[in-house]
Amino acid sequence: MDSGWMAVWPVAAFFLGGIAAQLTAFLNHRRQRAERAEDAEAGLRSRREEFELVHLVDVNQLLRKATEAARQLDTAVKLYGARKRDGILTAEDEQELADGLTDFRDAVDAVDAQLGFVLADEVRGSAVAAREALDNTFARLVTDQPVSWRPFELAMAGAYEALSARVRAIYAGQAAGGTSGG
């Protein structure tokens, strides 16, 4: 009987070794697959954040340029109107008004081109409100109505704060290990 058990033990050890090797390979494969998925998710999150950061900064800068263009257009419209009333309107005044209109339109078009790339809904909402304030200001300027700058400035300040807060949230998430909400 001893010789029978002696013949079974090597075979049993061989099978147990094979099972252990298969189990180890299976567990390693699952771990590696989980690591690859985690790396892919981290890479996707990183690319999303980089994309979003670029566009948040762009929209912020473009809104600031549009604000400056609105103020310059306001000055050009007032100067044009005053010179026209006084009867001393020149070709330079007309060109300055035309340039102001073109600059404003270009600035607003640039904002429009970037608004869709703001991924966070609440931030995009604030930027759209600022864009609407630009429209309202333009409508008042071209119809020779006084511009109420306070609501305009509040809309712009709200957009700047929302954009800045989102940028801070993204960077805070990266500092905390790359996790951030969107």
Q: What is the pLDDT of residue 11?
A: 80
What are residue 148's phi and psi, to 5 degrees?
-90, 100
Per-residue model confidence as pLDDT tens digits over 41-51? 888 888 888 98
Mean pLDDT, the chain, integer = 88
Q: What is the pLDDT of residue 113?
A: 94
**Tokens (6 digits) for 95:** 């060109």
- CA-CA distance, 31 to 176, in Å (whole number)? 24
Whether residue 181 has pLDDT greater than 60: no
Q: What is the pLDDT of residue 176?
A: 53
Q: Which residues contact 72 (CB under 8 A, 6 or more apart)?
A: 100, 103, 104
> What CA dihedral angle connects 90, 91, 95 and 96, to 10 degrees?
-20
pLDDT band at 175 (very low <50, low <70, confident <90, very high): low
pLDDT band at 178 (very low <50, low <70, confident <90, very high): very low
H or E segment and range at residue 148: none
- CA-CA distance, 114 to 100, in Å (whole number)? 22
- How much is the average pLDDT of 113-133? 93
Q: Which residues contact 87 (CB under 8 A, 6 or more apart)?
A: none
pLDDT band at 179 (very low <50, low <70, confident <90, very high): very low
- CA-CA distance, 154 to 100, in Å (whole number)? 23
Q: What letter represents residue 95's amino acid?
A: Q
